[in-house]
Amino acid sequence: MAMIEKYKTEHLAKNFQFVLVDKQGNVAESDNTLFNIDVDSQIQDWHPFFENFSDLLSSFKDKLHIDCVHLDSGNTQYITDIDFEKKLDGMLIKVHNLTSYYDNFQTMAQSRNESAIASELIIIKNKEFEERERFKNQFIQNFSHELRNPMMSMMSITNLLAKTDLTPSQKQLLEYVQEGNEHLKLLLEDILSISMISTGRLKLENKTFNLHKLFDLLRFTYANKAKANGLKFDAKIDARLPETAEGDRLRLYQVLTNLLDNALKYTDAGSITFTATLNQKWGNKMNVRFEISDTGKGISTENQKMIFESFSQLNHTNEKDGVGLGLAIVNGLVKLMGSEIKLTSEIDKGSMFYFDLNLKTPITQIKKAPLQKTIKSFAQKSKAAMEKQKILLVEDDERIQTILLKTLIDSGNYHVDIINDGGKVLEQVLDTDYDLIIMDVHLPNTTGNQLARLIRDFPIKKIKNVPIIGITADAFEDNIKGYLKDGMNTILSKPFSDSQLTAAINKYIK
Amino acid sequence: MQKSKKIVLVGHFGVGKTSLIRRFVKNEFSNNYQVTIGVHITKKEVQIEADKSINLIIWDLEGTDDLRTMRPSYLMGSHGAIFVFDVSRPSTFQNLNEDLALVNDRLNKVPLLVVGNKIDLVNKEDLDSLLQEHQISNHFLTSAKEGTAVDSLFTKMAKMVYGHD
Ligand SMILES: Nc1nc2c(ncn2[C@@H]2O[C@H](COP(=O)(O)OP(=O)(O)O)[C@@H](O)[C@H]2O)c(=O)[nH]1
Ligand SMILES: [Mg+2]
């Protein structure tokens, strides 16, 4: 015990300084353990902490404790706790050196405060950035809307002009104009999509759709596109994937086609592979991996981050045509669907884009039963309505559209869908089962006979065998023979009468 | 004898209290942030008029985002106070009116100046709308970094506490 007491006294002696001052602040005694304070000097002259000493004296009754005071004199600095104790002849000041304790405390406070400030500043920066982005996107959105109207009228006027009598060289020139228009329109649509995604204006739909039909459409479209580019195309679809899914079909389609188009664009030789795999299924939910890989020229590591940024590509002159907003749209849409687009790539070996998407798989049996019931009861009331045949009318000339529609609807037997863009026919055919297609041979984006050929090649029986009536102003026997060979069942030459049309329809619809 | 008055600098951490004092006393500035713990005390003589001067005993207090945790012993005997906020960080002036009420209460309504520091970091229009939006008045706008309005701040404080007890 005696030893401990001794050590303790030694320790305390080292870390405490006692100073005795009179009521005027004159130093009477000081043990000078920590600082040299001269006897008979004024304590307030030694350190400003003691300034206004008389005020200090009157401000408390017996004792006062003050934490964590930095005291310094000459080269000596300590962080101390200071106690004041009133005595008969003045005041006892006890200075406790706690420097190492407070140093630890300081280190902790330093990191805590620094990270608090840093995170606040990051939030502020992000907000500013987002605001600027929002403004930019809003501006672009308004601007592209403004551009759309004149663009549209320019396009339709050009199309009208194309139908007039033109010399071959005029026709050629007009084709360039049409190509330019088409390119501009796609670009405008891309920019609109991007700005709508960025401003949060784009809302996803949640509807049931046929997943396999979507895959069929992709397989079909891209097998042909790849072939035209001298490439192989492969679609590997997981057989465990259910027939139907719930989600935004249009946007999923947009993402996949953008990725596939991108793969086509940057692959000169080899193959493109589309893979859809069921990662997981639980209850009516599933997680599906979509993967698009190519044997193209690859993307350098530094470019990998940048290619998803909106407008980043606008800064770079692209050696390939197209502005390349496609990937930025993919990035935005996939994010909107709650996933993230990922990429692995190696220069000269190829790239693989992939993302994992949560979709719902409606339990069809439960859903179908009550649906059929309602249809039946409805059918009893209006039998005729239920037995209507479905016709797809593909025609871009509005006058002919109206004439055809009138004939078809007057008969009261048909349900008619109209498309004026040849590029959308395959998608539509995959989505809806038609009993008959009536199709103009001259269409924007593609020709009717080309479409007929594609439809006849289709791997699905119901689609493959649908009757197609072609319409053309062409009177050359050879051309008409060609159309029939391409898969059209019959050709109506303009102008034709109502009865000719009805006869043709009746021939193919029972 | 030379008059001396105790003034305290209060406010959130990292707003530039230590830097303002350093600029005023030593005419120095550093971008490095050294968190103050406890209290540092510095003395500086301020010339108020040709023949009038005063010693300011400046207490640089540990900053906190919750002023209620300020140690009362540091505030004892203060003659004046400077409340500093950081114009680039809203969290430091978000509850300005409550903070000021608390300071007034703790300090028995001694002369008080409100200072928005780091004005070098924001542009003038943003600053004006920010002050208006938060209804901040009776203020000094300073930059310890560039020395803007630092001397006039402390001189103003000196004048305020000179005739005040
Ligand atoms: N840009 C700029 N930075 C400042 C200014 N005043 C202080 N700082 C910086 O802000 C940080 C905190 O300053 P400090 O004086 O320690 O703040 P305190 O915690 O209130 O004492 C330090 O990194 C300073 O360099 C200023 O007027 N302008
Ligand atoms: Mg400080």
Q: β-pairing, A271-282 with A232-237?
A: parallel
- CATH number for A116: 1.10.287.130
Last residue within a domain, chosen from A97, A121, A150:
A97
Query: What pLDDT, on a 0 to 100 scale, did the predictor assign at position A475?
Result: 67
Residue A101 CA to residue A80 CA, distance in Å, equals: 10
B55 in A contact zone (CB under 8 Å): yes
* Same domain assignment for residues A149 and A90: no
Provide the pLDDT for residue A137: 76
Place B22 in a pLDDT band, splitting at 50, 70 and 90: very high
Alpha carbon of residue A204 to chain centroid: 11
**Residue A367 is assigned to a structural domain of this protein:** no
* pLDDT tens-digit readout, B52-99: 999 999 999 999 989 999 999 999 999 999 999 999 999 999 899 999
pLDDT in tens, B41-51: 999 999 998 88
Residues with CB under 6 A from ligand 1: B 13-19, 30-31, 33, 36, 63, 117-118, 120-121, 143-145
CA B31–ligand 1 middle distance (angstroms): 7
Residues A413 and A396 in one domain: yes
Strand partners, B8: B59, B81
Cis peptide before A495, with omega less than 30 degrees from 0?
A: yes
3-state secondary structure of A97: strand
Q: How are strands ordered across the β-sheet holding A63-73?
A: A27-30, A16-21, A90-97, A76-87, A63-73, B39-49, B52-61, B4-11, B80-86, B112-117, B139-141
Are A282 and A342 members of one domain?
Answer: yes
Checking if the pLDDT of B14 tops 60, the result is yes
Question: Does residue A145 sit in the same domain as residue A58?
Answer: no
- What is the rounded CA–CA span in Å between residue A364 and residue A366? 5
Question: What was the pLDDT predicted at A232?
Answer: 94
In whole angstroms, what is the distance from residue B83 CA to residue B12 CA?
9
A289 and A341 assigned to the same domain: yes
Does residue A303 lie in a domain region? yes
Spatial CB neighbours of B23, under 8 Å, sequence gap ≥ 6:
B29, B144, B147, B150
Q: Which of A235, A240, A195 is nearest to A216 (CA)?
A: A235
Question: Which helix (H) or strand (E) covers residue A69, if one does?
Answer: strand A63-73
* Same domain, yes or no: A229 and A355: yes
Which residue segment(s) compose the domain that A164 sits in? Answer: 103-199
In this prediction, residue A55 carries a pLDDT of: 81
Q: Is A69 close to B76, i.e. CB distance below 8 A?
A: no
Which residues from A are below 8 Å from B71, CB to CB? 66-67
| pLDDT score, position A464 | 86
Domain spans of chain B?
Answer: 4-162
Which pLDDT value is given to residue B35? 96
For residue A57, what is the nearest residue in chain B, using CA coordinates?
A: B77
Do residues A221 and A350 share a domain? yes
- A4: in domain: no
A433: domain CATH number is: 3.40.50.2300
Sequential DSSP letters for A111-180: HHHHHHHHHHHHHHHHHHHHHHHHHHHHHHHHHHHHHHHHHHHHHHHHHHHHTS---HHHHHHHHHHHHH
In the reported structure, the alpha carbon of residue A239 is separated from the centroid of ligand 1 by a whole-number distance in angstroms of: 63
The predicted structure's pLDDT at residue A311: 56
**Alpha helix (H) residue ranges in A275-421:** 301-306, 326-336, 364-381, 383-386, 398-411
Parallel, antiparallel or unpaired: strands B4-11 and A389-394: unpaired
Peptide linkage before A370 cis (omega within 30 of 0): no
Contacts of A335 (CB under 8 A, 6+ apart): A341
Give me the number of domains chain A comprises: 4
Residue A1 lies in a domain: no
Do A313 and A325 contact (CB within 8 A), yes or no?
A: yes
B41 touches chain A (CB under 8 A): yes
Q: How many CB atoms lie within 10 A of CB A418?
A: 15
Give the amino acid at A172.
Q
Ligand 1, atom 13: nearest CA belongs to which residue?
Answer: B16
Helix ranges restricted to H, A16-98: 43-46, 53-58
**Residues A261, A78: Cα–Cα separation, whole Å:** 71
Contacts of A52 in chain B (CB under 8 A): 4, 6, 57, 77
Instruction: Look up tokens 């007929």; give the residue.
Output: A452
* Nearest Cα residue to B12 out of B75, B89, B80: B89
Q: What is the pLDDT of residue A376?
A: 34
DSSP A239: T
Residue A368, in any domain of the structure: no
Give yes or no: residues A402 and A502 share one domain: yes
- CA B74 to chain A, closest CA, distance in angstroms equals 7
What CA–CA distance (Å, rounded) separates B113 from A167?
85
CB contact under 8 A, B89 and A121: yes
Domain B4-162 sits in CATH at 3.40.50.300
- Cα angle B25-B27-B31, degrees, rounded to a multiple of 5: 110
pLDDT at A114: 94
Name B73's Cβ contacts closer than 8 Å, sequence gap at least 6: A64, A65, A66, A67
Residue ranges in chain A modelled with pLDDT below 50: 313-323, 365-385
Q: Which residue has the tokens 């305290």?
A: B8
Q: Does A79 touch chain B (CB under 8 A)?
A: yes
Judge if A480 and A384 occupy the same domain: yes
In a domain, A487, yes or no: yes
| pTM: predicted TM-score of the whole model, two decimal places | 0.59
Among A360, A383, A411, identify where a domain stops: A360
Q: In which order are the strands placed within the sheet that holds A389-394?
A: A414-419, A389-394, A436-440, A468-472, A490-493
A188 φ, ψ (degrees, to nearest 5): -60, -40
Q: What is the largest CA-CA distance in chain A?
A: 131
Q: How many residues in chain A? A: 510
Please report, for the domain that includes residue A299, its CATH number.
3.30.565.10
Which residues of A fall within a CB distance of 8 Å from B33? 110, 113-114, 117
Chain A residues within 8 A of B4 when measuring between CB atoms: 51-52
With H, G, I as helix, E, B as strand and everything else as coil, classify residue A38: coil
Kindly state whether residue A75 falls inside one of the protein's structural domains.
Answer: yes
Write down which residue in A199, A221, A238 finishes a domain: A199
CA A11 to chain centre: 66
Give pLDDT, residue A67. Answer: 96
| Residues A287, A151 share a domain | no
Six token digits for residue B101: 């009420």
> Do residues A441 and A449 lie in contact, with contact meaning Cβ atoms separated by under 8 Å?
yes
Instruction: Fill in the DSSP letter of residue A382.
Output: -
